[in-house]
Amino acid sequence: MKKENKTTNKILIVTTNTVRLDDMHKTGVWLEEFAVPFLAFKEAGFEVTVASPLGGESPVDEDSLECKNPTEWDYTIKELKNTQKLEDIDYESYDAIFIPGGHGPMIDIAKDELLGKIVSYFYNSHKVVSAVCHGPAGLINAKTETQEPIVKGMQVTCFTNEEEKIAQKDKLVPFMLETKLKQLGAFFNEAAPYEENVIVDENLITGQNPASAKKLAETVIKKLSPKNPN
């Protein structure tokens, strides 16, 4: 029996539940890194689900709420107010996973074992795995079918050590993400601080910083869209 062609791609966005880096510093998801891809995916006609390890609210980093932000970004915040719980998601029904950044993922996303299992599934099933800025913290626990880190031998990027120092968060984060990815065997690619940089290696797509969110989303959409038969 011929399988019916699916017309709508499904994308799972996994965001942080972390509110604070420490008693003095609030954190969360960086709005641009969530809003820009979310809106792009919706405009492309994709079905988007937003989930988090605990479900419920995924806090927005207050530093990412600026007057110059486009108004439509504000509309996406409601999607972060009541995210689905990750363990309730039928993740095998999705075509791609995307993990936005902000410093929150360094606390919970980085050590979430279920997320590690889910990312492993996407990677080993040759589905799209994508993350931006600190979102690649969600790749740390993901393994290949031979139990190697999925980033080992892969070209990747993330918020760089230099950018972390410029942001004055290098003493606040539990580890430096660039350093961790290199320790896992990744081939790290960086552009100048806060410049757009998106790296594609097979089905793994990573972006360096907030400026990379738009191009990353466009790259994911292009990867998922059927080739023009003409």
Rounded Cα distance between 148 and 138, Å, is 15
Asked if 46 and 10 touch (Cβ cutoff 8 Å), the reply is yes
Residue 228 scores a pLDDT above 50: no
Q: How many of the other CB atoms lie within 10 Å of CB of 57? A: 15
Q: What are phi and psi of 203, to 5 degrees?
A: -95, 10
Looking up tokens 């070209």 gives 155
The residues with which 132 forms a beta bridge, in sequence order, are 207
Which H or E run includes 128? strand 128-132
Query: What pLDDT does 6 receive?
Result: 54
Q: Is 83 inside a domain boundary?
A: yes
Q: Is 2 inside a domain boundary?
A: no
pLDDT tens figures, 166-203: 999 999 999 999 999 999 999 999 999 999 999 999 99
Which H or E run includes 205? strand 204-207
Q: Is 46 inside a domain boundary?
A: yes
Mean pLDDT of the chain: 94
Q: Helices marked H in the chain — which ranges?
A: 31-43, 71-81, 113-124, 161-166, 177-183, 213-224
Among residues of the chain, what percentage have pLDDT more than 90?
93
Rounded Cα distance between 216 and 218, Å, is 5
Among residues of the chain, what percentage have pLDDT more than 70?
95
Residue 120 scores a pLDDT above 60: yes
Tokens matching residue 62: 């207050």
* Mean per-residue pLDDT, 193-217: 98
**Domain that residue 153 falls in:** 10-224
Task: Quote the number of domains for the chain.
Answer: 1
pLDDT tens figures, 63-73: 999 999 999 99
Rounded Cα distance between 178 and 162, Å, is 9
Q: Is 147 inside a domain boundary?
A: yes
Rounded Cα distance between 201 and 139, Å, is 14
Rounded Cα distance between 50 and 12, Å, is 6
Q: Is 153 inside a domain boundary?
A: yes
Check the CA dihedral 208-211-216-219 and report its sign.
Answer: negative
Q: Is 219 inside a domain boundary?
A: yes
pTM here is: 0.94
Task: Decide which of 21 and 3 is more confident.
Answer: 21
Tokens matching residue 15: 């965001």
Q: Is 1 inside a domain boundary?
A: no
CATH number of domain containing 15: 3.40.50.880
Q: Is 102 inside a domain boundary?
A: yes
Asked if 26 and 65 touch (Cβ cutoff 8 Å), the reply is no
